[in-house]
Structures are given as structure tokens and as C-alpha cells.
Amino acid sequence: MAALNNYVKTYCAKDIEAFFKLQDQHITHVLVAHTRFHAYDKTQAQINELARIARKDLRHALNHFGRLLYPTAQNKARRDPYKYRPLTLVTLEGARETNNPALTLHFNICLGNLPTPLTTDDIQTLFTHAWHDKANQSADVMAYDYKNNPSKTWLGYQLKEAQQRPNLAWATSGIWDVENCWIPHAAFSTD
């Protein structure tokens, strides 16, 4: 059994960032979506439960968002997800004990494979509807154009808590929200 432990990989922020960078050419927008949950004055067990609920709500919002992207064919993303479902690379921040009452649990989301006519404002409006109105979360959502961002530091920025707390980079209640990530490989190979 001890020999097996020598082969177990402990992923860190740099590993996750390298994985995200493999999709860099496909990322067009990024979102910051705050939840209605605050970690202030809560135990880590309570925060972990809030994070579980937030991840479930995000899954619901992303599914609804996928339907909103194609108003004349709302089932496109569900019927053929490898071609039409948006690229999503997701991290969760703020899911730790804090003495800051203003801090919320919030998601950093990289998006790609979106219909080209959509503007950054359109994406923010559609995702806010899915997140706030359909998933009953906060209306505090900001969308940014990733391709025209001169700093291009987003991939490292969204993993800053994983850099500060390496044991949380890859864990059941960790920073990388693996379950809500999606790479539509078929869409990227049809160029």
C-alpha cells in the first residue's frame, strides 16, 4: 500500500492552471458570479455545505444558460453538448472561514464556444438571468471579454486561493469545481 501512495498525484494550482491554459485559445469571456452565501461567522463544515449547494445551483444555472444561448433551438446544448454546450472552466473562492462579513462564496468562470453574435453585455444579461432568476442566487454577476483583456492574467488569478492554500486546490470541497467544468471537444475540432 505504501508503494501505491508514491504514485498518487497531488494536484496544485500550477497543475490546474496548466490544464486551463490548454483551453486558452477557446476562452472568449470570463464571469464572476457571487452567491448569496457568506462564510463569515460559520464553521468550515457549514461553509462546505454552502459550497455544495452553490455548486448545485451553478450546475442548474449553466444548464439554463446553455438553453438561453440558442433561443430558437433551446435543446441544442442538451442534445449535442460536445458541439453546442459552452466551454466552462470553474473555480470557487471564498469557501473558507473568514472574519470579513462582506466576503461571499463566488465562482470564477471561463467561457468559450458561445454563439458569435453575443456581446459581453448579452452574456452578462443571460447568465445573470440564469444565476439570479432561475438558480435563486445573487444578481452580482460581472462578465468580461477575455480575448481583448491585455493583462491575460485571469487563469492565474482565479487560482489565487489554491496558491495560498495548496491543500484546497484539488479536494472534494476544493477551489477547482471539476463537476461544473466542460470542454466541448467536438466544437473545437470542427474548424
Residue 154 maps to a domain: yes
pLDDT (0 to 100) of residue 162: 74
Query: CA geometry: angle at 19 spanning 13 and 25, to 5°?
Result: 125
User: Mean pLDDT lowest for which of 17-31, 48-62, 123-137, 168-182?
Assistant: 168-182
Residue 4 maps to a domain: no
DSSP 8-state secondary structure symbol assigned to residue 63: H
Domain count, the chain: 1
Burial of 163 (0-12, 13-18, 19+ CB in 10 A): middle
Over residues 72-118, the pLDDT tens digits come to 888 888 888 888 899 999 999 999 888 899 999 999 999 999 998 99
Residue 184 maps to a domain: yes
Q: How confident is the model at residue 168 (pLDDT cuts 50, 70, 90)?
A: low
Range of the domain at 51: 28-188
Residue 22 maps to a domain: no
Residue 183 maps to a domain: yes
CA distance 157 to 34: 16
Residue 65 maps to a domain: yes
Q: How confident is the model at residue 134 (pLDDT cuts 50, 70, 90)?
A: very high
DSSP 8-state secondary structure symbol assigned to residue 163: H
Helix residue ranges per DSSP H, the chain: 2-5, 13-21, 44-68, 76-79, 81-84, 120-128, 154-157, 160-164, 185-188
Q: How confident is the model at residue 191 (pLDDT cuts 50, 70, 90)?
A: very low
Question: By the 8 A CB rule, do 144 and 28 touch?
Answer: no
Question: By the 8 A CB rule, do 21 and 15 touch?
Answer: no
Residue 14 maps to a domain: no
Going by C-alpha positions, the residue among 88, 102, 90, 91 that lies closest to residue 162 is 91
Residue 110 maps to a domain: yes
User: Is 0.85 topped by the overall pTM?
Assistant: yes
